[in-house]
Amino acid sequence: MDLKGKTTIITGATSGIGKVTALAIARDGAHLVLPVRNMEKGEVLKAEIISETGNKSVELMLCDLASMDSIRSFAKEFMAKYDRLHLLVNNAGLWESKRKESADGIEMNFAVNHLAPFLMTHLLLDIIKKSAPARIINVSSTAHKYAKMNFDDLEGKKGWSSMKSYAQSKLANIFFTRKLARELEGTGITVNCLHPGVVSTHLFDKMPRFFRRIFGLFMISSEKGAETSIFLATSPEVDEVSGVYFKKKKMAKTTRHAEDMKAADMLWEVSKEYCGL
């Protein structure tokens, strides 16, 4: 997709693969709208993007993805300024090593990794539809292989595990991608998700040192990790591809459970309830 002059939103762009993705999209001449929780970090990022790419079409907007009120405020502000959105990259994510809750009292991994992109995408969907052809990209993970959706205890209130919580949130990204792709068939909007690789980013900062050492043996750079996101955002090869999980810029297999559309339908309805949609 030719992004020159097109409006794009990329979450989690202040560091890691989000930052690399934002730089690449800026080089393609897109207009970037970047939701940031910390405006000071955002200003540093904006200056770097302009300096490195020469693209001055970068706007920062305040948004805390751990707060549904903040996400709604961001969407309202965006829609007051823009009537088109050609590319939405739901990149932001975290991995909490201890059970925490969001501003809405929801387990943090589930809230930020799944419910935040679910809500933001829904709030912006009418504008995205007006902008077709358009693309939605969700950053998932191969970690989804270590989880099944526990509808009896989505937030780990009965028994919480850092790995299971994170893995379930990444599984939720795949379910969301496949369900939304079906909902948007025939609209000119594609929805795909990806595993970026085990990337050396701040995602692992809160992990125990033992796990960081293990992951460190096969971590890749942010530049390498962003390749699939950039591919899905720009390549004409995926113009007609939707509802697919990618790895290393190629279609990849998920677990059989991740293909369960009944579970995807159930998660969709539960997520709408969480988000008040």
User: CA 228, CA 247: separation in Å to the nearest integer?
Assistant: 7
Neighbours of 169 (CB within 10 A): 28
Q: Return the SS3 of 95.
A: coil
User: CA 203, CA 132: separation in Å to the nearest integer?
Assistant: 33
> CA quadruple 173, 191, 277, 65: dihedral positive or negative?
positive
Neighbours of 68 (CB within 10 A): 22
Residue from 82, 146, 166, 274 carrying the catalytic annotation: 166
Could you check whether the bond before residue 35 is cis, i.e. omega within 30 degrees of 0? no
User: CA 185, CA 67: separation in Å to the nearest integer?
Assistant: 30
Q: Which two tokens stand for residue 52?
A: 């490195």
82 included as an active-site residue? no
Q: Report which secondary-structure segment, H or E, holds 263.
A: helix 261-275
Backbone φ and ψ for 150, nearest 5 degrees, come out as -95, 85
Q: Which two tokens stand for residue 188?
A: 């000119």
> Which of these, 148, 165, 167, lies nearest to 156 by C-alpha position?
165
Structural contact between residues 122 and 145, judged by C-beta atoms closer than 8 angstroms: no
Helix ranges restricted to H, 115-208: 116-130, 162-183
Task: Please state the length of the chain.
Answer: 277
Catalytic residues, which ones? 166
